[in-house]
Amino acid sequence: MKFSANLGFLWTDRPLPDTIRAAKAAGFDAVECHWPYDIPAADTKAALAETGLPMLGLNTRRGNPGENGLAALPGREAEARAIIDEAIAYAVATETSAIHVMAGFASGPEAHETFLDNLRYAHAQTPDSITLVIEPLNRHDAPGYFLRTTDQAAEIIDTLALPRVKLMFDCYHVGRTEGDVTTRLKALLPIIGHVQFASVPDRGAPDHGELDYAHVFAEIATTGWARPLGAEYKPGGPTDETLGWMQTLA
């Protein structure tokens, strides 16, 4: 099993280039991040080249304080597309392979159509080397977020029928909202672009909680999934002290 370090949560006490180096030292196979835009892309690319780690993903900006993305917000299309363009430019410069297009807090038919239109725009602007991923967020952590369930995401992906729009399947979010994690993952496998994980319900390291990740990882392995799984958990202390699961669960 291969793993990617999500640098939005791991080693947050240091700048992004240093977190990439820390992930390499810890034995991760890849990295991913949330919002890298305060760090020049050249600095990030240099750290990736130094370590040999690929960057698997980054997020579009959240928007204004208190927002959680703009892509599904009617009337905010110009802003949404500006941050999509920004994410594409950063991803191209760093050879990042996926962009998480964040939907934001919205609901209803108009929000649905706005999200579709902005995803079509993003798909048209990205090179073939970049996948766009959309991610349902659980109602406990992100009440009011537009994208709530894997069924909703699957319907959007089916409607768009675009080859590089995929599902970000986060075992943590699915576990908190829908349950039946491995069955859902297997059913949705053809449209999944990336898999992430954290303990349920506290979003800590995957060595405790309601989900048995020894079982989850073994079930994922039976599908033939070979890409690194994203460790997007909150360590609750020094990251290096929480990495025992990489030996016990791999």
Is-contact 147 134, C-beta < 8 A? yes
Beta-carbon contacts of 210 under 8 Å, excluding residues fewer than 6 positions away, are: 175, 199, 200, 201
pLDDT value of position 72 = 98
User: Where does the pLDDT of residue 62 fall: very low under 50, low under 70, confident under 90, or very high at 90 and above?
Assistant: very high
Catalytic residue from among 135, 178, 219, 241: 135
Average pLDDT over residues 36-60: 98
- pLDDT of 250 over the 90 cut: no
pTM of the full predicted structure? Answer: 0.97
DSSP 237: S
- Report residue 125: phi and psi, to 5°: -90, -20
pLDDT band at 203 (very low <50, low <70, confident <90, very high): very high
- Could you write out the DSSP letters of every residue in 119-152? HHHHHHHS-TT-EEEE----TTTSTTBS---HHH
pLDDT at position 133 = 98
The per-residue pLDDT for range 66-76, each reduced to its tens digit, is: 999 999 999 99
Does the pLDDT at position 226 exceed 90? yes
Q: Is the separation of the CB atoms in 8 and 33 below 8 Å? A: yes
pLDDT at position 128 is 97
**Residue that the structure tokens 């369930």 belong to:** 149
Phi-psi region for residue 63, left (φ > 0), alpha (ψ -120 to 50) or beta?
left
Domains of the chain: 3-248 (3.20.20.150)
What 3-state DSSP class applies to 59? Answer: strand
Average pLDDT for the chain: 97
How much of the chain exceeds pLDDT 90, in percent?
Answer: 100
- With bands split at pLDDT 50, 70 and 90, how would you rate the model's confidence at 248? very high
pLDDT value of residue 27: 98
Residue 58: strand pairing partners: 99
Structure tokens at 171: 């075992």
Predicted confidence at residue 45, as pLDDT, reads: 98
pLDDT for position 35: 98
What mean pLDDT is predicted for residues 239-247? 97
The stretch 211-230 carries a mean pLDDT of 97
- Residue 95 annotated among the catalytic residues of the structure: no
Q: How far is CA 52 from the centre of its chain?
A: 21
**Residue 165 confidence class, pLDDT cut points 50, 70, 90:** very high
Kind of pairing between the strands at 131-134 and 192-197: unpaired
Distance in angstroms (rounded) separating the CA atoms of residues 225 and 215:
15
Candidates 207, 240, 202, 246; CA nearest to 11 is 240
> Starting from the edge strand earliest in sequence, which strands make up the sheet with 192-197, in order?
30-32, 3-6, 229-231, 192-197, 165-170, 131-134, 98-100, 58-59
User: Does residue 37 have a pLDDT over 90?
Assistant: yes
* Residue 241 is a catalytic residue: no
Reported as a single tens digit per residue, the pLDDT across 120-134 is: 999 999 999 999 999
Q: What would the mean pLDDT of 91-101 be, rounded to a whole number?
A: 98
8 closest CA partner among 167, 232, 188, 223:
232
Residue with tokens 């053809």: 190
Which of 32, 79, 86, 232 does the annotation list as catalytic? 232
